[in-house]
Structure 1
């Protein structure tokens, strides 16, 4: 039975199988990623806000309408005026609230179980009916918040409360039951008693565009500023959250931010794909176009009930198996070829393929990158520790690996396996193409 490169990870997981992927073993590979093109789901290329119901059905705001995915089949529900759907949230009685271009309302099932759209914007007073995009929808405490660039519409029991400031608004964020929104020329605000008020020190964001708001332990705010990185309010004053990441985040341009269920923070960026940070701001995982994703521009993020991270991209949709104990080590991490051997030795992971013996070394922003051990190019069959020495069985013979360099100790071709003789401490038996040698 052929052994493909993917099977290498089974050796690694044997050591760490009880740890889910989120434990982020330093030897983990990249999580498994699945991509859906617009041709697959028969919708628009861009995907925005997402939500999953209690039955596991995923709903996605899409340029062509509302996408529905049951794990096997895709369905597209088109809003009657054919507008783009930018946002959504799930409500009671099967209602799916939508934010669209110049409209908002909800889909709900009719007597036959088919989803039918009802516009709520048509119930607005005429002076408020003309608006542009509804970029966010939230359901909180029996209220539905429809958030546009000009106005916040709060819908409760068939009535609207309208917050209509004389300045423009950015997309809003719901944090622990409070709606936060950046207001032009003012800064970061929140809704209190159906009115907008500046948060303490919120004027800090007067000249920043805010692309995400979360709460940190202790209820301190973490704010993503598009093109300017992350800021927190730990001491009452907003300041850069992670000095080590700030410069990189400035150029990556954060488009969206969510908290994962295990406390980690996921960032979707304009130029650098997805970043997973620890609650302390340490980079744990970086996924981009050459590391598992089909596109480096991320528009939205959502974590489903199975811990998968769904990624709405500028062209298509993907999900990453963050909850899986399996990960993949392949050419995206510098490891070419078909896998034959794996060994964890002195806190280094060695992997043997038909291209040679490779060892994982830390690399900035990308975790481990695998590099060829000099002198081992070609078919590697076996690696083991014998008498405290690291030995490699290779097509060219046997090698001792020391200080990152291979020294040939046998020229007999085809080193399949090594075994120390139990009755002779200084004698080693090796299996080769031509039989046993010592």
Structure 2
């Protein structure tokens, strides 16, 4: 077994600054957080886990590499899309991964996106076809080693080489700075000087599949096999590790594990979750699906930088907060809301909303559910020991508990609790749902005596003063001060108090400190003086609570520690040996909101075993565990997004880089992350964008912030985080610059300046030129004005002459019209004359000339001829027509053009009408009757298209 000596030369323990405070608790369950595949958007199985220097977690998943920064999950796949079985991160931040016939590493690009670089391509195609699954990756002496079933690949200085498996590898292990491989035939092989050297005697494990190797004290090694159990060697022999842990593994099969601070061993199983055992094989903790895990098959386990445990499951990922002084008893232990707890006769009792439960209590706390005390099914408000008798105050009544069952029902009314009555030995007073009752312990145990008359109100808080018969009861808004009669059958006196001091209104709480009754309001503590019948302040106690939020409950435990609740939170003033107190609040911040209001329950068995009641169970607190688990969180600006681009700053090696954005990208978004995995729901962020924000924004769980329409300039985004313990991280920041729009750019302003100068120059020249031109044009203008004036005078003279001509023309026209009228009248006279002469001629024709003598007949004929000649030779009418047509030629022309179908007679009629001649005159001229004139007028109107309402003469004048 010489190979064992090689495996166990020296076991080097790396002690972290707080590692000696390491503790895996055997009492209760640690806080468990399950992540389902619907959250991380990956495959079901997770084969390997690692963590980078920033605290980000990486999981080798069936669908690729899963990254988790505490806020956001990211997935990165291999080129061939196969599952990743192994992951390891080196000091440079490269994330080495291995899958089926593929291995390489991820590294962030300039935008923080992880890009894959294949190393399998560096080997020839023939060897590439037989890579197989890469199950383990090790960082060993500056080399990155990839181990599959068929080969081992060594990567260093960007070069790759490999060694074929002698037969077939199982797994490899890096122990005490030495690298070993298990071969199916040759056994254990040690990697030395570039070669695989078989270790003598190691073939004993050929029928066993080793999954993990752990160092044990005294130069021993523990080997975990898949189905054969656990084996231990001291260098000379190999034998089964006959322990509780080995029995568990043999029943449930091992898939390896990890070691916590070289003090506790985590062993994964296929069938029943995982166990944590000490270095002696004693099971300290066992978690499975019934106790909070989402799956019973643990493929891998990993201890992170804060000594908390991560599990890669057959279906999902689980985080376990091991590095905490708190563990919990929840529904898996059969208990609900806890109102009180008590240790009595080797049993831990808890009063819950489902009855009274118990659990055996000894140095080795068995991991099994609580059992219900027989006979207690209803609400149990309190469990107490008075006069060495275990009493339970429940909805079912006042109950005596003996041998974990109800041995006697003292009263069937519901009760809240009991107190021993001072100065009345063996007497007990109980507070029921409708007042108070008296009990007495006698030879047959405790018996019910009577109901106290005079008070039927109730509350869950009451105390009795030790220096008198005062019973104090607080019931908002009053404090009752009551005096019991000597026979304990009634209250002789009841007094109500609404305030303790004129300075402070109201009454906050009622408590017993150092066996004395104290009354509190707004963190000021008072006592009552019976002699002075007044309250007085205890300055010393008040001083203790300066700087503490206003409390609503105060409990003193058996060690003198003062437990107080405020705003649904819990704190404690721990009493030191010198009598001083130390305040602790941060460790209990994770209980905020889970405490039972008005029923705060703190049961201090000893400093290492403190039980606190919760709404969903019971928590165990070990105050001896250092507060080193409360560390300052880290925070990062996880991503920086702007128009059409996103930068994953959390992945950048140098995130201090300043980013320059165009003005079109002035809508930016930031996401925040903090790799703080315990109590993530209580993680808060605060941010400030300088110079946009004047102050830090309020704390919020929101891990995203957007800014829109930012102006150009230099900006610094600052982010800080506050964990559930109230510890604030250092500020993380990113600088970026938004360039101005082109019209507000420096070059644009330079161009604007040049344009202004050019404009000033041009305008100046133009002004000077304008002045010169103005002087020139002034002379021209004066000349022009003179000419215009002269021209205007000439024009006015010409217009005057035209006006004179027009007046002359109008006067002439008037004369012509007058002459026309005169001519017409003369013509009418001639017509009349001719008509008379024609009448005379007709009459002369009627005279018989035969009766006349020749001379008379000759004269008669001569007269007749002269008359006829006069009529025939009169041309005045034709002259009239010719004159009329000449005068009105333009009118007749326009009328003929506008109405081509108009006849000459109608033209004549139109002219006569235009001359405003009467119907009679027209009839005479046209030698027709007046009716004929009217008929001619009607036909003319119809041809001109006039309706009855339109004036004919006016229409003709408008043409």
The verdict on a shared fold, with TM-score over 0.5 as the criterion, is yes
Q: Does 2:275 correspond to 1:237?
A: no
1:55 Cα deviation from its structure 2 partner:
1.1
SS of the residue aligned with 2:170?
Answer: coil
Q: Residues 21, 351 of structure 1: CA spacing in aligned structure 2 closer, same or farther, 3 A cutoff?
A: farther
Residues 76-120 of structure 1, C-alpha deviations (whole Å, 9 max, x = no match): 011222221111111132211111111111111112222111111
Cα pair distance change 1:271/1:401, threshold 3 Å: same
**Cα displacement (A) at 1:240:** 0.9
Q: Does 343-352 or 147-156 show the bigger shift? A: 343-352
Alignment of 1:160-309 (within 5 A): 160-199=160-199, 201-234=201-234, 236-261=236-261, 263-309=263-309
CA-atom RMSD, angstroms? 2.2
CA distance in 1, matches of 2:369, 2:207: 39
Q: CA deviation at 1:223?
A: 0.5
For the 8 Å contact 2:87–2:95, the answer to whether it is kept is yes
Whether 1:148 and 2:148 are equivalent positions in the alignment is yes
Matched-pair contact (CA < 8 Å) for 2:165–2:183: no
Instruction: String of CA shifts for 1:339-360, please: whole Å, max 9, x gaps.
Output: 2221223442211112211111
Contact (CA 8 Å) 2:400, 2:408: kept in 1 or not?
yes
> What does 1:88-99 align with in structure 2 at a 5 Å threshold?
88-99=87-98
Larger RCO (alpha carbons 8 Å, 6+ apart): 1
Partner deviation per Cα, 1:216-259 (whole Å, 9 max, x = no partner): 12332211111111101026211111344434321201012110
Between stretches 100-109 and 76-85, larger displacement belongs to: 76-85
Number of aligned positions between the proteins: 417
Superposed displacement of residue 184, structure 1: 0.5
Which moves more between the two structures, 72-81 or 340-349? 340-349
Worse overlay, 142-151 or 215-224: 215-224
Distance 2:278 2:108 in 1: 40
Measured in 2, the distance between the counterparts of 1:77 and 1:168 equals 30
Cα contact 1:361–1:371 (8 A) shared by 2: no
1:239-388 to structure 2, matched below 5 A, reads 239-261=239-261, 263-333=263-333, 335-361=334-360, 367-388=367-388
- Contact 2:348–2:361 at 8 Å: present in 1 too? no
1:367-420 per-residue CA deviation (whole Å, 9 max, x = no partner) reads 132111122222111012222322211112222223323222511411211111
> Which 5+ residue runs of structure 2 have no aligned equivalent?
1-19, 439-959
Residues 397 and 408 in structure 1, CA contact (< 8 A), matched pair in contact too:
no
1:78 maps to what in 2? 77
Q: Is the 8 A contact 2:329 2:335 kept in 1?
A: no
Q: Between Structure 1 and Structure 2, which shows a larger proportion of strand residues?
A: 1
Distance 2:77 2:118 in 1: 13
- Preserved CA contact (<8 Å) 1:286 1:366: no
Give the CA deviation at 1:156.
1.9
Would the aligned equivalents of 2:85 and 2:97 in 1 still touch at CA under 8 Å? yes
- Alpha carbons of structure 1 residues 20 and 351: separation in structure 2 relative to 1, 3 Å: farther
Q: Tell me: CA distance 1:411–1:293, structure 2 relative to 1, closer, same or farther (3 Å).
A: same
CA contact (8 A) 2:302 2:310 kept: yes
Q: For 1:298 and 1:163, how far apart are their aligned partners in 2?
A: 31
Paired residue for 1:415? 415
Q: CA deviation at 1:187?
A: 2.4
Runs of 4+ in 1 over 6 A off after TM superposition: 362-366
In 1, Cα distance between equivalents of 2:246 and 2:204:
17
Task: Report the 3-state secondary structure (helix = DSSP H, G, I; strand = E; otherwise coil) of the residue aligned with 2:150.
Answer: coil
Q: Given the two structures, how large is their TM-score scaled by the length of structure 1?
A: 0.90
Q: Is the 8 A contact 2:335 2:357 kept in 1?
A: no
**Aligned partner of residue 33 in structure 1, secondary structure:** strand
Cα deviation for residue 361 of structure 1 reads 3.6
Shift of 1:189: 3.0
Q: TM-score, normalised by structure 2?
A: 0.42
Structure whose alpha-carbon radius of gyration is higher: 2
* Structure number having the greater helix percentage: 2
